[in-house]
Structure 1
Amino acid sequence: MEHGLNPQSNHQPGSIDKSKVMDVRPLRCLIPLFPNPPGMPNVPTPHAAPFACVPPGGPFPQGVQPFYPFLVPNDPQHTGYGSQNQQGNFGHGSTIPAPVPLNSFRTPASKPHGRRGRPRKNVNPSKPLAVEGDEYSDLQNDQYVNEFGLHTTDAEASNKSVRRRGRPRKRRPGDGDEIDVESLVNSFLALFKLNGFDDLTRASGDKETVGTILLVFSLLRRRLTQLDEANDLTNGIARRPDLKAGTLLMTKGIRTNATKRIGHVPGIEVGDIFFVRMELCIVGLHAPSMAGIDYMSVKITTDEEPVAVSIVSSGGYDDEGDGGDMLIYTGQGGVQRRDGQMIDQKLERGNLALEKSLHRANDVRVIRGIKDPLSTGKIYVYDGLYRIQESWAEKKSGCNVFKYKLVRVPGQPQAYTLWKSIQQWRDGTATQTGVILPDLTSGSESQPVTLVNDVDGEKGPGHFLYISSLRYSKPFPASKPSSGCHCMGGCQPGDTHCPCNQKNDGLLPYSSIGVLLTSKPLIYECGQTCACPPNCRNRTSQAGIKVRLEVFKTKNRGWGLRSWDPIRAGAFICEYAGDVINDASGSFGNEIDNNYIFDATRHYEPLEAVHDDSTASKKAPFPLVISAKNNGNVARFMNHSCSPNVFWQPVLRESNNESYLHIAFFAIGHIPPMQELTYDYGRVRTEKEEKGKKKCLCGSVKCQGYFY
């Protein structure tokens, strides 16, 4: 940054004009996300060389493809990084016509200060404050630190394995070797049949393609998180498995809607939610992973000019709105540095594109960043199409910024306004229509469950006793005695001495916020004889409901279940509570015919989204039939769907010589608020029971017409 230039200064020939000396500050060191050669740990060197703005050159380690620069032909957004006609080779003979996000490189985390395990805030006075076009504010970095467990929780603080003041934890005997990421990615692509991804699908997708890519990204991201934690590969540096997973997929051409367009994006509906910015990139809703404005060039006679296609209002500036259908958006650039220097915004790039869109009156997609009520991060909500009505410049925090007033195009489904309504229900400033009971559970759950009917005059379901867990009259015998773990501070990732980790192939199955990191035929949770506390990560399904659920009357399928809160992919929802009506001999009794039965002995179509083995049908390891007719919880209200958004997972808790099998429900993909929660009821085994077919009214495009 040029500092203190004085054009009127006079100096003697040969002397130094100090008024023209430039105050140059070095860039912060950036570490590329390339894996090291085989045999070397994936840990950055303590003193990485300063990042130079040149593409990385070979030779590359085996399995790594160069991915710089990723340029869009004739895209003015990236003209500063190379020829517009330059294209990168991404392996498998494919070319991706869109940029790799600039955040494919990460800044090393500061050394911990004062509090163990928590990165110290950067207090460099020249560091700019958070701006709309830069997602890497202090708040955003904290989001990923908290989400992936680098902060020290109460349970971790009391465990001897916690690192002290940035000192690397000694690798335990048996710690995993370097992760074969290439094989991991290829296995996911083969499972979801994405190896033959063609250019047409890459340019423009549909709902099924978008859903599949998001599921693969989510599974890969969660798996990388689990492996990194177990092997302690990050050594105190903030993990960004979202960037790693996104880059791995994009280098293989696994993305869709890569062709920019004005208006809605195929396969994405108004109200859809995303938990990281990379998800917006790989499905084409918003291409830049950092910038808040996405734009493209359109040809006007012989000239071209930029027009905006989408914006992300993520809270870098205090954007204003009125009733949820209007947004005052602040342009990108322009900061007040911590040393007090002001930098004005310029009418260029994204700001110029918004100005051109004002005059052309084209639709602009709006994605709103909303604080996640269950974590420190953000949720990105697609709020539909808006049009820019006016623009102006004003002074904000000492620098000139551009303001744009956008108004929502009428006739679209609710999205952001629905979130505002739910918040008003929480605060008690507004009343929901059709509420019968404010809490169906009578305090049995940590979160109230509202009973609502705004369809007809029915006052509620048939009488039953609400219970929050499963009731066993006789547990299953354990295959061998289990003494439980001795993790006084809670089970820790990578602790090979923990017997509960050993049962789960040495890996903790859950993240620090209760997200299922991998799907297995059976998950072993801590039992009654384990010494770990109730908030142990390996007791996720025992901690009860964490989201605000609602039992509601559907239009044609009786009572159903939905959530006020957004639910991220892999998050625990609830378990199936009721009475176990079978014993080890398999005698199920006469209650098998009622409508509130969960039968784990049925055949289930393999859900590729949640199974690593697509060759076998889903089967529980023990015969388990649960009746929720007289005693049950919210799970008894979940309806069947041939395209479900929830799956069930057997969870085993062992104590001494006894085994208790439970059924836990998790989200397949991200589920927006007030969307009905459904799962597949499965198929019966015998021809005799085929007579129990019922007409299916799930309404999905894959509906089979019946269920059992």
Structure 2
Amino acid sequence: MEEGLCQDSVHGSGLVDKTRIVEVKPLRSLAPMLPKSLQSSLSRRYPSRFSPFVLFEEPEESQPSPAPIPAPIRSFRKPLDEEEIPHGVNGDPSSPMDGLNGKSVDDNQRRIVQPMNSCKSSQKKSRKIPEFGSSSLIGGISVAQRDDGDRKVVTLVLMTFDSLRRRLCQLEDSKELNTTMVIKRADLRASTVMTGKAFRTNMKKRVGAVPGIEIGDIFFLRMEMCLVGLHGQSMSGIDYMNIKDEFQEEPVALSIVSSGVYDNDAEDDDVLIYSGQGENFNKKDKHVIDQKLQRGNLALDRSSHRHNEVRVIRGLKDAGNKNVKIYVYDGLYKIEDSWIEKGKSGGGVFKYKFVRLPGQPSAFAVWKSVQKWKTGSSSRPGLILGDLSTGVESIPVSLVNDVDSEKGPCFFTYTKSIIDPKPFSLVQSSYGCNCNKTCVPGDLSCSCIQRNEGDFPYIANGVLVSRRPLVHECGPMCKCFPNCKNRVTQTGLKHQMEVFKTKDRGWGLRSLDPIRAGTFICDYAGEFIDRAKVNNGGYDDEYVFDTSRIYNPFKWNYDPSLLEEISSNVSSEDYTIPSPLIISSKNYGNVARYMNHSCSPNVFWQPVLYAENNQYFLHIAFFALRHIPPMTELTYDYGCSGHADDSSAPQGRKKCLCGSTKCYGSFG
């Protein structure tokens, strides 16, 4: 009998007697293999200082300590050869984004940031970058941290990867990369750089939870999950390892990625019916075949007998882009049942019933609830108003209180802009660019790009590449079209926001949609006021945004040493503001007035300048510091009016209730 299922073993009931299936013994060769033609030339293709793409080539047994960090990769000056395209687990040169249950997934996701420290220095130009974003950690993750991470290291790896990806996208958009390169996707190139420098964590395979990764964490790319050890396969939907006991050695499943393509939707959000991997139709011979009980399928079968925990990652479509998938870690499951049924083509398909372990925080269930609220198929508990903005925003802003009986916040007038803004005098040859239709990245004749030091500040979907002293956007004075990609902060809300009542911090703000790192969230709207009125106590400090406050320094931009760029050519992250800007949102404001303070925020502000009516006006724009799951409160650093360690600092600091592990106890 052929290994796997006999075609005639499928009964009319759709079930099969699994005792008739010939089991395939675990193979040592399940480790990544390369074709003979590639094996013979492996050393020739990879220079001595450039290791092959081994992000997913992990043996089933324990791994040796990582090799010393190689010299920096000349990813720009010495392009990869065509043969150096990253390969998958079995040497398959297909895209690493392929293979959710044997099918390809979205590969157009082309395009994660540091917690802040306390206010310690008044010298903005010489202030010390916190340990979390310190250059001493770049490429310097210890051997122990590579095997076993924690939340800090996981976040560092993810944010470093995304900062590199954004920069590579920016260079690609502006055609500064070698156009003859085979590898065009920034995520593959960024992961190659990270892997070459051993900038990874949780490389040691394990059953159960992964240190530093929390249930509900989201990922926009499969590479992100691989770099932090959540799911070690770039293509396959099943990750597994061999476990040896006193009797035998056999594979067990560690994690699965549910693509949503083959997997059935169970009525219970804590139950997943997962389909095995492998085609059940032979395209070459054009006949129906059965999935085989080997590799990942065999590992799932053994795990169903062992009842070991399996990590489950759910792949969901992005509401804003149907061609993009977002992956959410849904926690630990166990396989309670398995069977075989006929697939659409007639071949036998393995089915596994995964049941979520009780007592875990909700993740996938939250996504499902949000989808029902947005489509109106389910009522929103605690809904007070459907649109707090009363039509001012193009996307409704709901008002919700499911905590107590309060009917809403104090009255204010909703506005999307600053009332009576103060213009700034800048030495400029013109107030706008002369571009046709839209500004093009890399076009140095564009005056707006020139003001941004030659870089286009955004990549696809309006994602900010780097924090800058000042971002210059095109404005109404420019000749480019209103849909120019350099007008990101002028187009209003991008996500469906919700003002909600917190348990202990008054009203807060969150999004019903997932938000990618670097994505614009909103402006800070309100009344422009002068400092004298603030000092005289004429305005409630709770609703005042002041650019002259001392804000905790942090590093968000990519490290140029990873790409062998000259650091002196990299823009500073210290803001350059023509003069202090103070905005009060007490009487006039938008959703930004509801963002609470946090010592470990997930949002940061960026000064943005553009011209209107022959004058330049400064705006405060908020961007996502890291990937933010839906229904997660949005917070930013309120800054300090004095030094945290200065006895002469003004009194009246507020008690902080952010709940962060790095909470400094007070703010303001």
In structure 2, the residue matched to 1:14 is none
- The aligned amino acid for 1:64 is F
Choose from 86, 91, 96 the match for 2:69. 91
- Distance in 2, matches of 1:244 and 1:134, equals 24
In structure 2, the residue matched to 1:217 is 161
* 1:641 CA displacement: 0.4
- The aligned amino acid for 1:299 is K
Aligned length: 584
In structure 1, the residue matched to 2:11 is none
- Distance in 1, matches of 2:176 and 2:37, equals 25
Contact 2:133–2:554, Cα closer than 8 Å, also in 1: no
In structure 2, the residue matched to 1:634 is 591
Change beyond 3 A, Cα 1:56–1:555: same
C-alpha offsets along residues 419-450 of structure 1, whole Å, 9 cap, x if unaligned? 11111101111111111111000011111111
In structure 2, the residue matched to 1:121 is none
Q: Pairwise CA RMSD of aligned residues?
A: 3.2
Change beyond 3 A, Cα 1:307–1:70: closer
Choose from 445, 451, 455 the match for 2:393. 445
Contact 1:73–1:86, Cα closer than 8 Å, also in 2: no
Q: Unpaired runs of 5+ in structure 2? A: 1-35, 73-85, 112-131, 560-569
Written as runs of structure 1 = structure 2, the 5 A alignment for 1:100-249 is: 101-102=88-89, 132-134=100-102, 137=104, 140-141=106-107, 143-144=108-109, 147=110, 191=135, 193-231=137-175, 233=177, 234=179, 239-249=184-194
* 1:322 CA displacement: 2.1
In structure 1, the residue matched to 2:657 is 697
In structure 1, the residue matched to 2:58 is 72
Contact 1:130–1:316, Cα closer than 8 Å, also in 2: no
Structure with more relative contact order (C-alpha pairs < 8 Å, separation 6 or more): 2
Is 1:367 the counterpart of 2:313? The answer is yes
Contact 2:499–2:507, Cα closer than 8 Å, also in 1: yes
In structure 2, the residue matched to 1:358 is 304
Change beyond 3 A, Cα 1:535–1:62: farther
In structure 2, the residue matched to 1:317 is 262
* 1:595 CA displacement: 1.7
Q: What TM-score do you get using the length of structure 1 for normalisation?
A: 0.76
Choose from 531, 535, 560 the match for 2:508. 560
* 1:100 CA displacement: 7.5
Written as runs of structure 1 = structure 2, the 5 A alignment for 1:369-448 is: 369-375=315-321, 376-396=323-343, 397-448=345-396
- For the residue of structure 2 that corresponds to 1:551, the secondary structure is strand
- Distance in 2, matches of 1:199 and 1:629, equals 51
Contact 1:392–1:404, Cα closer than 8 Å, also in 2: yes
Change beyond 3 A, Cα 1:309–1:219: same
Contact 1:189–1:195, Cα closer than 8 Å, also in 2: no
Change beyond 3 A, Cα 1:652–1:400: same
Contact 2:273–2:354, Cα closer than 8 Å, also in 1: yes
* 1:416 CA displacement: 0.7
Contact 1:66–1:89, Cα closer than 8 Å, also in 2: no
- The aligned amino acid for 1:194 is I
In structure 1, the residue matched to 2:564 is none
Change beyond 3 A, Cα 1:624–1:610: farther
In structure 1, the residue matched to 2:617 is 660
- Distance in 1, matches of 2:136 and 2:373, equals 40
* 1:254 CA displacement: 1.0
In structure 1, the residue matched to 2:118 is none
Q: Which moves more between the two structures, 343-352 or 552-561?
A: 343-352
- For the residue of structure 1 that corresponds to 2:355, the secondary structure is strand
* 1:586 CA displacement: 11
* 1:411 CA displacement: 1.2
* 1:645 CA displacement: 0.5
Contact 1:132–1:333, Cα closer than 8 Å, also in 2: no
Change beyond 3 A, Cα 1:476–1:217: same
- The aligned amino acid for 2:144 is L
Written as runs of structure 1 = structure 2, the 5 A alignment for 1:526-675 is: 526-582=474-530, 590-610=537-557, 620-655=577-612, 657-675=614-632
- For the residue of structure 2 that corresponds to 1:650, the secondary structure is strand
C-alpha offsets along residues 468-522 of structure 1, whole Å, 9 cap, x if unaligned? 1222343111222424122332111211211111111222111221111122111
- For the residue of structure 2 that corresponds to 1:432, the secondary structure is coil
* 1:207 CA displacement: 0.8
- Distance in 2, matches of 1:277 and 1:69, equals 12
Contact 1:70–1:88, Cα closer than 8 Å, also in 2: no
In structure 1, the residue matched to 2:472 is 524
- Distance in 2, matches of 1:447 and 1:409, equals 37
- Distance in 1, matches of 2:428 and 2:575, equals 25
Contact 1:651–1:664, Cα closer than 8 Å, also in 2: yes
Q: What TM-score do you get using the length of structure 2 for normalisation?
A: 0.81
Written as runs of structure 1 = structure 2, the 5 A alignment for 1:283-294 is: 283-294=228-239
Change beyond 3 A, Cα 1:516–1:103: farther
Change beyond 3 A, Cα 1:471–1:134: farther
* 1:605 CA displacement: 1.5
- Distance in 2, matches of 1:595 and 1:277, equals 41
* 1:549 CA displacement: 0.6
Contact 1:628–1:636, Cα closer than 8 Å, also in 2: yes
Q: Percent identity?
A: 51
Contact 1:131–1:316, Cα closer than 8 Å, also in 2: no
Contact 1:103–1:290, Cα closer than 8 Å, also in 2: no
Contact 1:604–1:618, Cα closer than 8 Å, also in 2: no
Contact 1:450–1:550, Cα closer than 8 Å, also in 2: yes
- Distance in 2, matches of 1:615 and 1:514, equals 21
